[in-house]
C-alpha cells in the first residue's frame, strides 16, 4: 500500500511502539489518528490528531471512530492495534482485577477497534489491520501466564480474521516482537539504547514494511527477535 495520503488509526500512542509507529507513518505522508487515554508528550504534527479514547469501552471506541471520520473523511486504510498492558506474577497470587485489565485492553479493546473499522474497509475493498501481539503468544513463560494468554488470543484472532476478510481485499498482519526497549512493565529505558534489545523504531519500521508490501502479498504473521540477545 502507498501510505501517502492514507488514513491510519493507531491505538496506545503515548510512548513506545505506538508513538514510534505514529512518527513512521507520518514520515510516509499518512494522516494519523492516535487513540489513547494519554497523548504523547511534546508531540505536535499537522497530520497527527490525538483522540482521547479508552479502548476497553466499546462506546468510547465508537465515539473515537465517529470523530476520526468527521475529521479525516469516511475512508480508513490502516488500523494498528497496539495498545496493551502486562501484569506479571504467579497465578496463585494474581489479582483477578489485573487479569481482567489485561484481557479488557489486549483482547476486548482490540476486538472493539477492529469491529469499528471493518465495515468501511470491506466497503472500499482496501484496508490493513496490524495486531501487535508478542513472542509471548508463541510460548508460555513462568509468571507471565495471563499476559501470554492474551497474546495467544490475539494471535488466534488474527489468524481467523485474515481468513475471514481477505476475500474483501482487507489484509491482516499479526506482529510478534521479542525484547523491545520500552517502558513496558514499568521498566525505564536506559539513557543509551541497549544494543541487545530492539528499539520501538525497529518495530515501527517492520509495521511499515508489512503495510507497504505489494497489494498481491499479505504478510499474515511476522516474528521479530534481537539479532544478538544477551
Q: What interhelical angle do 200-211 and 16-27 show, nearest 10?
A: 50
* Of the candidates 114, 138, 143, 107, the residue with the CA atom closest to the CA atom of residue 128: 114
Measured in whole angstroms, the distance separating CA 86 from the mean position of its chain's CA atoms is: 14
Q: Is 147 a catalytic residue?
A: yes
Cα separation values, 105 from 18, 51, 118, 194, Å: 14, 17, 19, 28
Could you tell me the three cell numbers for 126? 482496501
Dist CA 2 CA 188 (whole Å): 35
Active-site position among 65, 112, 147, 152: 147
Q: Which residues are catalytic?
A: 147
Amino acid at each position: 500500500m502507498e501510505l501517502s495520503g492514507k488514513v491510519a488509526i493507531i491505538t496506545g500512542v503515548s510512548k513506545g511502539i505506538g508513538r514510534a509507529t505514529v512518527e513512521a507513518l507520518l514520515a510516509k505522508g499518512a494522516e494519523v489518528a492516535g487513540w489513547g487515554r494519554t497523548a504523547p508528550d511534546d508531540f505536535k504534527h499537522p497530520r497527527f490528531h490525538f483522540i482521547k479514547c479508552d479502548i476497553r469501552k466499546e462506546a468510547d471506541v465508537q465515539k473515537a471512530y465517529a470523530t476520526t471520520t468527521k475529521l479525516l473523511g469516511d475512508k480508513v486504510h490502516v488500523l494498528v492495534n497496539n495498545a496493551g498492558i502486562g501484569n506479571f506474577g504467579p497465578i496463585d497470587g494474581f489479582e483477578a482485577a489485573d487479569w481482567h485489565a489485561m484481557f479488557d485492553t489486549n483482547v476486548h479493546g482490540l476486538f472493539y477497534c477492529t469491529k469499528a473499522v471493518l465495515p468501511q474497509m470491506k466497503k472500499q475493498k482496501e484496508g490493513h489491520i496490524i495486531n501487535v501481539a508478542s513472542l509471548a503468544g508463541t510460548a508460555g513463560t513462568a509468571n507471565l501466564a495471563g499476559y501470554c494468554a492474551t497474546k495467544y488470543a490475539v494471535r488466534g484472532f488474527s489468524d481467523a480474521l485474515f481468513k475471514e476478510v481477505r476475500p474483501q481485499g482487507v489484509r491482516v498482519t499479526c506482529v510478534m516482537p521479542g525484547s523491545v526497549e520500552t517502558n513496558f512493565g514499568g521498566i525505564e529505558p536506559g539513557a543509551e539504547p541497549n544494543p541487545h534489545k530492539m528499539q520501538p523504531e525497529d518495530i515501527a519500521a517492520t509495521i511499515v514494511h508489512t503495510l507497504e508490501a505489494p497489494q498481491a502479498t499479505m504478510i499474515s504473521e511476522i516474528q521479530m527477535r534481537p539479532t544478538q540477545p544477551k
